Structure 1
Amino acid sequence: MKNKFFFGFIAITTIASAIAHYWIPSIGVKFAMTSLAIIALAALLGKATETVAHYAGDRIGGFLNATFGNAAELIIAIFLIKRGMFDIVKASITGSIIGNLLLVLGLSLLAGGLKYKQQTFNPLLARQNASMMLLGVIALFVPAAFSNGLEVKQIHTFSLIVSASLILAYLLWLVFSMITHKEELENTDDEEDCEQPPSWSMRTAIIIMIVATTLVAVESEWLVQSVEKVAHKLGWSDLFIGAFVIAIVGNAAEHSAAIFMALKNKIGTSVEIAVGSSLQIALFVGPLIVFISYLFGTPMDIVFTTHELVAIGVGTFIAVSISSDGQTNWFEGILLLVVYMILGAGFYFV
């Protein structure tokens, strides 16, 4: 009965958002209905993630959630690239990285910490994640520092080399963490004893994740269209739109799934979703977008602005500092959220 009501609500919100998008002229109504549909689909994706984690392990579940969640981010970026809106693409990459590290992880630590005094996860995994995030920061800082005085063609070649290196590093990281050192990096989450077995099979859950992600991507594109119009009416800059508004929308799936897992005392899965998603954006999705831009005949470089680099550097520093010991509490979540608010204010006034 609960599943029927759940799927019925998702169907109603999705259909309502489609009606609003195509036949209702009010931007406010379009924005509200599409947002509601994304929230419902994100909840579905979170439930599917929990089911996959039950069968395949928390790391695989978190990885799949981050991957399907970032698929929407990639699709949105492709739409923006087709329009030549590279500044917003870079801002959305920045916003996605800091959004996962500060907002998603912060809300997860806060929610889980309010229910459980202290939550723990594999400290070795935390240190490996920290090293990978620092690699991402270095790879973004170096092109910005060395691009002065270079010709446009040289900058694009430099960007391709950096992007290819990051993609290779990420793929090797998957081999290291999922195959050769899988046992050492397994999470140590304490599941609730009263937890009931999932009502879906693993195959059903994966199919649901694929369908939900596809719908989230469609809804996200609709929401981007309405958000851009609303934002420009309010006088928001492209940097703020990309780094915060679009990034929050693109990460809707991760938001709900990570918080839901933290409340189930599976903070390791929450960290895998939040930090793993940031890693995937910085080391794979962002570099992949550089290569995809060549398909449209308008190459995008990997040179980010000073504001974006500072935001990524600050976000990585505080997240690494808090999570490196493998222990979390609600106050650490507050610290991450405070930094996110400070950066949000900075982007708003730029």
Structure 2
Amino acid sequence: MSRQTTRRTVRKRRYWGDDDASALTKWPKKALHKTWLVLESNYVNVLLVFVPLGIISAHVGWSPTVVFVLNFLAIIPLAALLSFATEEISAKLGQTLGGLMNATFGNAVELIVSIIALKENEIRVVQSSMLGSILSNILLVLGCCFLAGGLNPANGSEQTFNITVASTMSSLMAVASASLIVPATLYAQLENSKEKTEGNILILSHGTAIILLLLYGLYLFFQLKSHANLFDAEAQVEEEEEEHILDPWGATAALLIVTILVAVCADYLVESIDDIVKTTGISKTFIGLILLPIVGNAAEHVTACVVAYKNKMDLAINVAIGSSLQIALFVTPFLVILGWIMGRDMTLHFETFETVVFFVSVLVVNYLIQDGKSNYLEGAMCLGTYIIIAIAFYVYPDDAGDKTNGFFGGRLFGTS
């Protein structure tokens, strides 16, 4: 064999042998290293052990109470990972768009569960999930943000945020509350009328849903294009660039995987609710409007509190109230239109008690943010209001409401 042939053989071996082997081992090692760095980024990731346990418990037929608790605990670290991946993406896309993505992925759980419920024609389940998510964000999450920011000595006695942005968001929330008040008031007026009440409410809901979707589209254009400078939360504090673990592609993959896992665990939560009610005596109203939204909004909760503690109040408000806006102006109207397409009578007519609670909550938040400043006392006010509402829903009976089908119904929650 000639020297030239030998050299060619060596080059081929290096190309197809050593380099190929190196490539095969390099990427798995890199992926494992990145995964380990992500896992050790937050101590709450220790709870990830409950993810496989929660899924297994649902498949092998463990006690519904055990299934509920395990999946409840599983969603907590998944929400933290969702928050982490969103922050990694926002480092490249900007905090405004990153906050928008966080709200979108954080609401994926409610959207998936609501579509399942809508398919089963469980309108009340959809409505309660939407309302509970909004209340959780504008009172619980925002309250924790104000509290976290106010209790950090490094932030001073008060924290400031862009009053124009906050006022815009609160005004849109007021419009959203009006979209629920009008159908509820019309329903009360038409109740004794000879006209077909449900048909009229359905027409009003379809028209209102289209208008709300248009408003949400304009809001996105306002936020991301025409008035993007107002929403640029990065401009409020100059900080050194932090080292980020994931690139945009890796962070996006993590977002998709974690969102799917959250949806799976949330589905098992829903399936175990009926047995939980029988064994504990907790009403479905309380579970649907308080417990499930807390779990579903854990991503926004974690992200908003972390950034608020770092005195990034603009971003915290963008995540908390922005998520509520997305539910009120996009997800709920989208479900109304989807129900229209599917032949389901999904309307914007909520129970009178729920509508009043929503209006009062928006009113309280508007008063608290109108001065462009926050402190721990205002955070305590938000939390206090949420706790009062939670107690009210705890004693709210399942058979109460304006409609004859009760508060919840249907196969999704195991009732007839």
- Superposition TM-score, scaled by structure 2 size: 0.79
In structure 1, distance between residues paired with 2:219 and 2:240: 35
Give the one of 68, 86, 94 matched to 1:57. Answer: 94
* Deviation of the 1:164 alpha carbon: 0.7
In structure 2, distance between residues paired with 1:114 and 1:24: 44
* Deviation of the 1:229 alpha carbon: 2.4
- The answer to whether 1:136 aligns with 2:176 is yes
- RMSD over equivalenced CA pairs, Å: 2.1
In structure 2, distance between residues paired with 1:287 and 1:130: 18
In structure 1, distance between residues paired with 2:338 and 2:258: 24
AA in 2 matched with 1:163: A
2:340 alignment counterpart: 294
Q: Which segments of 5 or more consecutive residues in structure 1 lack a partner in the other structure?
A: none
In structure 2, distance between residues paired with 1:335 and 1:50: 28
Q: What SS does the aligned partner of 1:106 have?
A: helix
Give the one of 142, 147, 153 matched to 1:105. Answer: 142
Is the 8 Å Cα contact of residues 52 and 60 (structure 1) preserved in structure 2? Answer: no
In structure 2, distance between residues paired with 1:210 and 1:189: 29
Query: Within 5 A, what are the aligned runs for 1:254-265?
Result: 254-265=300-311
2:109 alignment counterpart: 72
In structure 2, distance between residues paired with 1:316 and 1:38: 28
1:159 alignment counterpart: 205
- The answer to whether 1:81 aligns with 2:121 is no
Is the 8 Å Cα contact of residues 98 and 340 (structure 1) preserved in structure 2? Answer: yes
In structure 2, distance between residues paired with 1:228 and 1:253: 25
* Deviation of the 1:163 alpha carbon: 0.6
Give the one of 264, 273, 282 matched to 1:218. Answer: 264
Is the 8 Å Cα contact of residues 38 and 216 (structure 1) preserved in structure 2? Answer: yes
Query: Within 5 A, what are the aligned runs for 1:1-350?
Result: 1-5=36-40, 9=46, 12-115=49-152, 116-117=155-156, 118-147=158-187, 148-149=189-190, 150-151=195-196, 152-187=198-233, 191=237, 193=239, 196-350=242-396
Is the 8 Å Cα contact of residues 160 and 290 (structure 1) preserved in structure 2? Answer: yes
In structure 2, distance between residues paired with 1:325 and 1:203: 40
* Shift in alpha-carbon separation, 1:238–1:26, aligned structure 2, 3 A: closer
* Deviation of the 1:82 alpha carbon: 2.6
* Shift in alpha-carbon separation, 1:189–1:240, aligned structure 2, 3 A: farther
In structure 2, distance between residues paired with 1:59 and 1:269: 7
How many residues are aligned here? 350
Is the 8 Å Cα contact of residues 99 and 315 (structure 2) preserved in structure 1? Answer: yes
Q: What SS does the aligned partner of 2:272 have?
A: helix
Is the 8 Å Cα contact of residues 233 and 315 (structure 2) preserved in structure 1? Answer: yes
* Shift in alpha-carbon separation, 1:287–1:111, aligned structure 2, 3 A: same
* Shift in alpha-carbon separation, 1:10–1:211, aligned structure 2, 3 A: farther
* Shift in alpha-carbon separation, 1:232–1:159, aligned structure 2, 3 A: farther
* Shift in alpha-carbon separation, 1:231–1:248, aligned structure 2, 3 A: farther
> Could you list the per-position Cα deviations for residues 223-251 of structure 1 after superposition, in whole angstroms to 9, with x for gaps in the alignment?
12223421343333333222112222221
> Could you list the per-position Cα deviations for residues 63-102 of structure 1 after superposition, in whole angstroms to 9, with x for gaps in the alignment?
1111111111111111222333222221221111111000
Q: What SS does the aligned partner of 1:175 have?
A: helix
> Could you list the per-position Cα deviations for residues 94-129 of structure 1 after superposition, in whole angstroms to 9, with x for gaps in the alignment?
111111000111112111211133222211101111
2:410 alignment counterpart: none
AA in 1 matched with 2:259: T
Higher relative contact order (CA 8 A, sep 6+): 1
In structure 2, distance between residues paired with 1:155 and 1:113: 44
Higher mean displacement: 35-44 or 51-60: 51-60
- Superposition TM-score, scaled by structure 1 size: 0.93
In structure 2, distance between residues paired with 1:263 and 1:200: 23
* Shift in alpha-carbon separation, 1:129–1:114, aligned structure 2, 3 A: same
Q: What SS does the aligned partner of 2:233 have?
A: coil
2:17 alignment counterpart: none
Is the 8 Å Cα contact of residues 336 and 346 (structure 2) preserved in structure 1? Answer: yes
> Could you list the per-position Cα deviations for residues 284-325 of structure 1 after superposition, in whole angstroms to 9, with x for gaps in the alignment?
101111122234432211101111111111111111111222
Higher mean displacement: 94-103 or 2-11: 2-11
Is the 8 Å Cα contact of residues 88 and 238 (structure 1) preserved in structure 2? Answer: no
AA in 2 matched with 1:313: F
Flag the structure with larger Rg.
2
Higher mean displacement: 297-306 or 227-236: 227-236
* Shift in alpha-carbon separation, 1:308–1:4, aligned structure 2, 3 A: closer
Higher mean displacement: 116-125 or 130-139: 116-125
Is the 8 Å Cα contact of residues 48 and 78 (structure 2) preserved in structure 1? Answer: no
* Deviation of the 1:212 alpha carbon: 1.5
Is the 8 Å Cα contact of residues 122 and 326 (structure 1) preserved in structure 2? Answer: yes
Q: What SS does the aligned partner of 2:291 have?
A: helix
* Shift in alpha-carbon separation, 1:157–1:201, aligned structure 2, 3 A: same
In structure 2, distance between residues paired with 1:203 and 1:10: 25
Q: What SS does the aligned partner of 1:172 have?
A: helix
